[in-house]
Amino acid sequence: MTAIEAQGAKRDTRNTGPGRLLIAVYAVFALSATARAGYQIATKFSEAPLAHILSAFAALVYVVATVSLAKPGRTWFRVSLAAVLVELVGVLVVGAVSLFDPVAFPHDTVWSLFGRGYGFVPLVLPVLGLLWLNRRRPAKAAAP
């Protein structure tokens, strides 16, 4: 790898500075959401299949976001962007539905009540993610 390529590669990563804090927080959520979904599906899936499938989906989104943010390159940038957008829509929609229709929607996913059970971090995280992705957007001039 030449020096210029190395410099380009360095610019084309989200895994640096504040991005590393973001990835660490995403990793904690990926871990806790996966463990929680696994636990729910293993022990009480039949009680509320929809909520538990949603838990598993949220866990998957956090895993994809964590991995893609840690990887360099434009493809991973797009994966990150998609994951963070899905996360934002997820927390807003699930948060709103769980607020307006608490009976039909048991409060038992990461995103319920806008992530109140997790100190609203699930609501703040995608916003910070989008800000970070915007700041580290791959340069257009670098297109092959």
Binding footprint of other proteins on the chain (CB under 8 A): 16-21, 24-25, 28, 31, 35, 39, 43
The conformational region for residue 34 under phi > 0 = left, psi -120 to 50 = alpha, else beta, is alpha
Q: Quote the least distance from Cβ 69 to other proteins, whole Å.
A: 13
Question: 41 vs 51, 111, 144, CA distance in Å?
Answer: 10, 17, 45
Residues 6+ apart with CB under 8 A from 85: 126, 130
Q: From the centroid of its chain, how far is CA 127?
A: 10
103: how many CB neighbours lie within 10 A of its CB?
Answer: 5
Q: Quote the least distance from Cβ 22 to other proteins, whole Å.
A: 9
State which residue, 7 or 43, has the beta carbon closest to other proteins: 43
State which residue, 111 or 132, has the beta carbon closest to other proteins: 132
Q: Quote the least distance from Cβ 20 to other proteins, whole Å.
A: 6
State which residue, 11 or 20, has the beta carbon closest to other proteins: 20
State which residue, 28 or 48, has the beta carbon closest to other proteins: 28
